[in-house]
Amino acid sequence: MSEYKPYTQSNDLTFNEYLGKVFSIMAMGLATTSLVAYLFSFLYQNEEMWALILPIVFISCIGEIVIALVLGRRLERLQSKTAWILFFVYSLLTGISISGIVSYYTAASIWLCFGITTIMFISMALIGYRTNIDLSKYSNLFYVGLIGIIITTIINLLLFRSSLLEWIINYVGVVLFLGLVAYDMQMLRRYYDSRFSNVEMSEKIMIFSAFQLYLDFINLFIRILRLFGRRKD
């Protein structure tokens, strides 16, 4: 949810071209994550591999946090090539970190939840694209809600382990990330209208925009999978 100062030089891309590139980058990230999660999930079938898997998953989660901070705080200082690498490394690490979750559910329910997520994502993206409401005034609310969900999830895992609280967290998470989809979609238009100082900055902003939408989709999918996914016997 970072905001960048406006630039003066016009962008050669039309908004539809810009939008197409952003969603193409996002789709490549999702494809990378899906493939890695699918391949890595097979390792969970062998309990002897768990001692090796868990440290890798933990390191992947730490790596995700570091990359997210770098992309969010240091984007203007990065080279576009570095931004590309960080985005795809993040996609790979996410595939590793969610592989454990994916391994618990049947393939049919995963595809069903993925389809539901896609429909909801596209619907909210269209709302964000077309609405005249300024969603930026809710950015602090989105941020507080996101932090609240993270903290509550950790507390529930460590202390309460309440299925009811987990159910509530997941439903709140669905609402929150749907709102973030609309917000980030609206920010795409603002980034485009602000123009970019050069071609490289334009490319980095597209990568960052794709990264934000990618995060929204992944988190929305995980919440929906936990709510409606069917676990393996």
pLDDT tens readout for residues 196-211 = 657 788 889 899 999 9
pLDDT beyond 80 at 132: yes
Domain membership flag for residue 9? no
Q: Which residue has the higher pLDDT, 27 or 202?
A: 27
Distance CA(30)–CA(218), nearest Å, equals: 8
SS3 45: helix
User: Which candidate, 212, 209, 204, 200, places its Cα nearest to that of 9?
Assistant: 200
- On whether residue 233 sits in a domain, the answer given is no
- Looking at the structure of the chain, the number of domains it has is 1
pLDDT of the residue at 197: 59
- Asked if pLDDT for residue 219 goes beyond 60, the answer is yes
Dist CA 201 CA 76 (whole Å): 7
**Model confidence pLDDT, tens digit, residues 81-106:** 999 999 999 999 999 999 999 899 99
Question: Does any domain span residue 8?
Answer: no
pLDDT attached to residue 47: 81
| Position 109 in a domain | yes
Phi, psi of 134, rounded to the nearest 5 degrees = -80, 105
Q: Is residue 59 part of a domain?
A: yes
Q: Is residue 47 part of a domain?
A: yes
Structural domain for 194, as ranges: 15-228
Report yes or no on 24 lying in a domain: yes
| DSSP letter assigned to residue 137 | G
Q: What is the pTM of this model?
A: 0.90
In this model, does residue 4 exceed pLDDT 50? no
